[in-house]
Structure 1
Amino acid sequence: MEFKLGYEKLDLSFEHAYCIGYSGRDVNKTKAHINELKALGVPEPDSIPEIYHLEPYLFRQEKNISIIGERSSGEAEIVVIFDGENRYVTLGSDHTDRELETVSIHKSKQLCAKPIAQSLWKFEDVEKHWDDLELRSYVQEDGEWTLYQEDKVSGILPYEKLIESLNEFGANLNKTVVYCGTVPLVNGFKYPEKFKAELVDSVQNKTIRLEYGVSKL
């Protein structure tokens, strides 16, 4: 898979992939969110946070993904890529089938492609202001873009805690992509025709963008 690091091009391959769910920093808010989802039929996670081991083939850079069903949606996620001694940060969307989510969260994540941006940053370039990075996403319905998510990465568990959770799970962190968590929805779930997201570094005035369409099979 080809990425841009400034003017440089990197060809990275993944042998392992993980999504970290329920990774909010405020545990009480996370538990409240779990109860909200439970009322919608979504089963409780076995742990907080919850690690989902996924197939690397799910991760795509295409401009369009195909889904089955009427109720799927994306989630803007900060992503860490591990490649030997190197770590990179980028942006992804944890696109999920919301109907299957009520049966099995793990299966719902495994069903959909996981779009990932084409640009990335060196982890060490953002490490000191990790909490100040911002995630935003938008959905398009009937041709109109609407703000869907917006918050700082400080709403997600600190990087060190994320790594601790992955190590406890037994994750292999070499040639690995990790979707580290998302931020709250502005106004509930939407099931869009198009989805776009931004990872904003206001300290260095840089932004990574991701946009894709959703086609129903």
Structure 2
Amino acid sequence: MEFQTPAGVLECTPHTLIVAGWTGRDRAAVDHHIEELAAIGVPAPSTVPLYYQCAPALLTQDSVVQVLGTESSGEAEPFLLKSGGTLWLGLASDHTDRALETYSVAHSKQICAKPVAPDLWKLDDVSDRLDQLELRSWILEGGSWKPYQDGTLASILPLASLMDGIEMSEGTAMLCGTLPAIGGVRAADDFKMSLSDPVSGAKIEWQYRTRCLSAVS
């Protein structure tokens, strides 16, 4: 993969991909969400937070990704990468098959590509204001872009705390959890997302489209 960073172009091949789930900072809200999902058949996590192991080959910078069927959707998330001895912060989408989620959340994570924006910041450069960083996403719905997620990283467990739960070694990438969907989780063919630093004015943005494959049997 190739990223643009303040230090220049970074080329790397991640060898480990972790997708952190159930990472909300408000534990009561997380527990309530677990109960809501259980009511529609989504299995409860064994621990909170939970670190799903996924194939690093799922990471992509393509602007079009293929999915099976029509019941998948994106989620904007902070993206951490350890490369060249440095921790980098970026933006990714935990695209997930919602129908498969009712069978196994782990399987639903593994079946979909994880689009990643092509820009990274040094984590140290924003570590003093991580909670102020703004995470947003939009979906194309009814011919116009509709707000889908909007909040700050203060809603997610501190990134340092999340890294304590795994071995963040060289070549490890992690998606760090997300924010609630405005109007509820739903599928959309077009998804765009941003991570903004209100202090410096810097912004990471990415947009992608899904191409649905027929689920034949």
TM range, smaller chain: over 0.9
Determine the structure 2 residue equivalent to 1:42: 42
Identical amino acids, percent of aligned pairs: 39
- Whether contact under 8 Å (1:16, 1:176) holds in the other structure is yes
**TM-score, normalising length: structure 2:** 0.95
Q: How many residue pairs are counted as aligned between the two chains? A: 213
Corresponding position: 1:201 with 2:173: no
Query: What is residue 207 of structure 2 aligned with on the other side?
Result: 211
Contact 2:82–2:168, Cα closer than 8 Å, also in 1: no
Q: Is structure 2 residue 184 aligned with structure 1 residue 184?
A: no
SS at match of 2:165: helix
The Cα of 1:6 is off from its aligned counterpart by: 3.3
Distance, in Å, in 1 between the alignment partners of 2:189 and 2:140 is 6
Q: How far apart, in 1, do the equivalents of 2:7 and 2:187 lie?
A: 35
1:172–1:152 CA distance, 2 compared to 1 (3 A): closer
In structure 2, the residue matched to 1:66 is 66
Q: Note the aligned Cα RMSD (angstroms).
A: 1.1
Report the CA distance between 1:172 and its aligned residue: 5.1
CA distance in 1, matches of 2:85, 2:50: 26
Give the 3-state SS of the residue equivalent to 1:44 in structure 2: coil
| Regions of 4+ moved over 3 Å | none
Instruction: Output the CA distance in 2 between the equivalents of 1:198 and 1:63.
Output: 15
Unaligned runs of 5+ in 1: none
TM-score w.r.t. length of structure 1:
0.95
Paired residue for 1:123?
A: 123
Contact 1:16 1:172 in 2 (8 A): no
- The 2-side partners of 1:147 and 1:173 are apart by 35
Corresponding residue for 1:26?
26
Q: CA deviation at 1:9?
A: 1.1
